[in-house]
Amino acid sequence: MKLEHIGIAVKDLNISNEIFEKLLGKEPYKEESVSSEGVRTSFFSAGESKIELVGSEKNGSAIEKYLEKNREGIHHLAFGVDNLEKEIERLKNEGFIFINETPKLGADNKRIVFLHPKSTNGVLVELCEDVK
């Protein structure tokens, strides 16, 4: 398992892109909509990991609800795995609770699942695997 990216919830993706472009000295390498989550994302390379800015694209999205309760900032940690189904099974056996146990298509050509923060000390954790 490796840290794949850090997800940051943002109210305005365009403004946040400008901030991170200045901070990192480069533009995002990718922007895309993830219709299953109702979000628009942009990705910046940061060494061996990435930063994903996540903004709401539709009313009622999980990010919109998150931002109503919280301020902008770190939303989740994503760990890359080689075999998503195997990791899901391993972590279920360890007692972790999942928000979704069935992988779905996420941003950046990944299959994803989320662990519930109740079982990860309050941190939203995403597991992701490259689509093959």
| Interval 9-49: pLDDT, tens | 999 999 999 999 999 999 999 999 998 889 999 999 998 99
Residues with Cβ within 8 Å of residue 24, at least 6 apart in sequence: 44, 46, 51
Q: Which residues pair with 126 in a beta bridge?
A: 78, 114
| DSSP classification of residue 58 | S
Q: Are strands 110-115 and 98-105 parallel, antiparallel or unpaired?
A: antiparallel
Residues 8 and 53: beta-carbon distance below 8 Å: yes
In angstroms, rounded to a whole number, what is the distance separating the alpha carbons of residues 24 and 31? 16
Residues 127 and 98: beta-carbon distance below 8 Å: no
Instruction: Specify the pTM.
Output: 0.90
Residues 14 and 41: beta-carbon distance below 8 Å: no
Per-residue pLDDT tens for 40-75? 999 999 989 999 999 999 999 999 999 999 999 999
